[in-house]
Amino acid sequence: MSRPVLSIAQLALERGRSDQVFRIDVPKLEIFPGEVVAVVGPSGCGKSTLLETIGLLLEPRHAKQFLIDDIDINASMALSQTKRETLWARIRQHGLGFVPQTGGLLPFLNVWQNICLPAQMSGASTVDPVVHTLIRRLNLESLLRRLPRELSIGERQRVSFVRSLARRPTLLLADEPTAALDPGLAKELFTLIVEIATQERIATLIVTHEWDLVDQFNLPRLAGHAEGAGRVVFHA
């Protein structure tokens, strides 16, 4: 059996200060290659914060175990800030794909340049062939020379998804990738994410409110539940 791409035990996050601390706990989570897990829960329960922490954009308060591709993130917390940031940047660059809520495209680069940027930053001379397939399937060919400001919000989200796969990540983190799309396009993109993740064996965490699609694909869930004032626990 393959090893999990992401393995978490007793992960704790804290946000806020003094008497307004908000805590998030994840007792246990494992995601294997090709597995898609839906992160669900009410608005404001910390789904995006959790995703950003797993994506090494925010520091956890504590973790008994936190492994990405067998790299011990928990142990790296003992490194100096410079060494830790260098390691985490390398992991983000080579192993993680991230689809933020806002698309996160660079405004001074056109669509094609945005898509190619992650692969170029990791030293690749070409983008992965799956990118060209996605461009066709998401009807982006006519948009490749446009700047992000010339795109609709939904188009930006589709471009962001394609860009996230440009360097074939082992772990894909998608934060509400269908939120700005009409129902038809939302279903198409959601279906494509699940399909590509399964085919290419990319472990995937997707924050979503698309309950019908989560049910349709019978996805396992990481669900946030309030357990006391200012505390949410995410159970797999």
Residue 1 has pLDDT above 80, yes or no: no
Q: How confident is the model at residue 49 (pLDDT cuts 50, 70, 90)?
A: very high
Cβ neighbours of residue 20 closer than 8 Å, sequence gap 6 or more: 230
Question: Does 75 reside within a domain?
Answer: yes
Average pLDDT over residues 167-181: 89
Give phi and psi for 177, each to the nearest 5: -65, -20
Residue 143 is predicted with a pLDDT of 96
Read off the CATH number of the domain in which 13 is found.
3.40.50.300
Q: List, for residues 17-46, the tens digit of each pLDDT value.
A: 767 788 999 999 999 999 999 999 998 899
Question: Does 122 reside within a domain?
Answer: yes
Q: How many C-beta neighbours within 10 Å does residue 151 have?
A: 18
Question: Does 1 reside within a domain?
Answer: no
* Domain count for the chain: 1
Amino acid 209 reads H
pLDDT averaged over every residue in the chain: 91
- How would you classify the pairing of strands 231-235 and 221-226? antiparallel
Amino acid 62 reads H
Q: How confident is the model at residue 125 (pLDDT cuts 50, 70, 90)?
A: low
Task: Provide the whole-model pTM.
Answer: 0.91
**What range defines the domain where residue 223 resides?**
6-235
Question: Does 73 reside within a domain?
Answer: yes
